[in-house]
Amino acid sequence: MADETRSGLDAVEEGPAASEDAESAASGAGTLAPEHPSVKALRARFGEAIHSHEVGCRGQHVVFVDAARSREILEWLRDDPDHHYQFLSDLTAVDYGGGRPLHVVYQLFSMTHHRSLRVKCVLPVTALEIDSVEPLWKTADWLEREVYDLFGIRFNGHPDLRRILMPENYAEGHPLRKDFPLRGRFSRAEQTRRALSQEVADFYIPEEMEIGRDPQVLGHEQDGDALPSGENA
C-alpha cells in the first residue's frame, strides 16, 4: 500500500504524461476528416500554409495553419463573404509538455453561415510569438493578454500586452505551462514574503493611481469626509 501511495505521489510530482492522442495533436497531424467548406477554400487559396485538417469532439473541424501567416489567413476567414467568421468566441493555448510545441487556438463562428471552425497554430517553445488578431476582433484583447500571462506567448502588435491575472512583477513564470511546478517556483516562505511586500501600485494601472485617493477605499466617504451636498448615502 505504501509503495502504491509513493508511486502515486511521484506521478503527481512528474506531471501529466502524454497520451498517443496528445502526441499526434502536438505534432499537428490529424486523421483524415470529412471536408469542410472553409477548409477546402483555405487549401485552394493558401496552399501549403494549410498544414492539416482533423475532426475533433462532436464533429468540431480543426485546421492547422502556418503561424507566420496566421493574421492573413484569419483576416480572410473573417472578411470573405463565403465564410464570414465575424465572431471570435475564444482564443486560448495548449501546452502538451515535454518540450513539445504549444498550440494557439482560435475558435471562430460564422453567424451568417451558421458554422464553426477551430484554427490552430503550432509554436516551438523557443519562439513563442505570433501576430495579434486584436485589430480583427476586439474580443482578442483580454484573451491574448490571458494567454500571454499564463503561457508566455507574445502577440506582436497587441496594443496593451501585459499580465491580466498575475501582477506585472510576478516572477515565477507562466502558471499554465506544463513545466510550472505544482507549488510554484519559490518556497512557501518566499511566496509569503513577496505577497506581503506587494505595493498598492502593483495592482492598479497608472490612471487609477492618479485619482488622488486610495483606490481601495469604496463609496463616497473617505477619511471621515462628509458626502457632497444633495447626495444620499
pLDDT in tens, 17-46: 554 555 555 555 555 556 899 999 999 999
Query: How confident is the model over 99-151, as pLDDT tens digits?
Result: 999 999 999 999 999 999 999 999 999 999 999 999 999 999 999 999 999 99
Query: How confident is the model over 182-205, as pLDDT tens digits?
Result: 777 777 787 787 777 777 766 676
- Percent helix, strand, coil in the chain, to 5, is 35, 20, 50
Cα distance between residue 52 and residue 33, in whole Å: 10
- What pLDDT, on the 0 to 100 scale, is given for residue 81? 97
Of 4-13, 90-99, 174-183, which range is least confident? 4-13
State which amino acid sits at residue 211: I
Nearest Cα residue to 63 out of 71, 72, 54: 54
- What pLDDT, on the 0 to 100 scale, is given for residue 206? 74
- What pLDDT, on the 0 to 100 scale, is given for residue 20? 52
- What pLDDT, on the 0 to 100 scale, is given for residue 45? 97
pTM of the prediction?
Answer: 0.73
Strands 154-156, 102-110: pairing is unpaired
Report whether 109 contacts 167 (CB < 8 A).
no
Q: What is the CATH number of domain 26-168?
A: 3.30.460.80
Cα distance between residue 19 and residue 160, in whole Å: 37
